[in-house]
Amino acid sequence: MPKLRTVAVLAGAALLTRRALRNRIQASPLWPMPALENPTSGRPRSRALKLVVASRKTVAEGVVQLRLEGRDLPRWEPGAHLDLVLPSGLVRQYSLCGDPADTSSYTVATRLVEGGRGGSREVHEQVREGMALEVRGPRNRFPLVEAQSYVFIAGGIGITPILPMLRALGDNAEWRLLYCGRSPESMPFLEEVEKLGRNRVTVVAGAPDLDALDVPEEAAVYCCGPEGLITAAQDRFPRVHLERFTPHAAHGTAFEVELRRSGRTLTVAADSTVLAAVRAELPNTAYSCEQGFCGTCQQRVLEGVAEHRDELLTDAERADSILICVSRARSDRLVLDM
């Protein structure tokens, strides 16, 4: 596998003083914010915090790192992510890549995705130092399990949830990292990762050959990166721990959806979503994350059997509700209360 040379692309940015930031936070009438409500049940969904962007800096080509300051922030474990509510109201998830012991700030990084769904562009073009942002979480669906050894596979910005794991394991555990990217300049935290790993880090340009990776039977394998890397890791390591940073395609077979109150019936194509079909008819239908975690698109199911693919609804909620951005139908037809 071709090796890349190591470079660090760190551009500093002016920081506000800690005191100025504290004053801003304490002056904010929104801090701490009330828990958000589930749009259907009205019960609290999760605690929301209003944090201030203390620093914003470029840490690799097309990658911006934000440090968000608050006080007495909930603790988190390596692998956790934060929901960021962007100025437009879009909600996007970003892995925490700072120090879990720091209860006064959270750090996230985001790559600008050309032709993406708009969240990364908003972070890059509109989020500035001193701005207040609402966050929810942290939550962890990618926790570090106990294992005799670890193999990490990271693609580009996929290094962000893995970096705190490497710091936590340090020299006290056996681990190796395969870190791939388009070029060294595009790979965030490359210098730190190489320092942490010394001879345990392999840096690869382009798509790695996972078949060439020698992985001990007892090793826990973790992968975060673009969809192609995730799929290759799943094929090679059936028990791999995965973290996606783009929505998993919510596709399947076609079915019909009746919108009872609107008196319309639609077909959801095999390669589309209920949300896309509904928005073609009702463009004002609310949605945000399109990944099944924010709850904005929740609708009541009046008839039919839903196939739930979200990460949010409880079993009780699933009895009569659906998140239409990711979930589909097990029956030929679903009837929604909209």
Residues of span 79-98 touching ligand FES by CB under 6 A:
none
Cβ distance to ligand FES smaller for residue 165 or 313: 313
For ligand FES, the closer of residues 38 and 105 by Cβ is 38
277 touching ligand FES, by CB under 6 A: no
Residue closer to ligand FES, measured from CB, 160 or 288 = 288
Q: How far is the CB of 311 from ligand FES (least distance, A)?
A: 9
Which one among 52, 80, 233, 323 touches ligand FES, defined by CB under 6 A? 323
Question: Would you count residue 325 as binding ligand FES (CB under 6 A)?
Answer: yes
Nearer to ligand FES, 70 or 295 (CB): 295
φ, ψ for residue 21 (rounded to 5)? -70, -45
Cβ atoms < 10 Å from Cβ of 115: 6
Q: Whole-number minimum distance, CB 247 to ligand FES, in Å?
A: 10
Q: For ligand FES, how many residues bind (rule: CB under 6 A)? A: 12
Q: Which of residues 279-318 bind ligand FES (CB under 6 A)?
A: 287-290, 292-297
What tokens appear for 275 in the block? 């949300």
Shortest Cβ contact with ligand FES: which residue? 325
CA angle 47, 134, 283 (to 5 degrees): 100
- In the complex with ligand FES, the residue whose CB is nearer, 152 or 293, is 293
List of residues contacting ligand FES (CB under 6 A): 287-290, 292-297, 323, 325
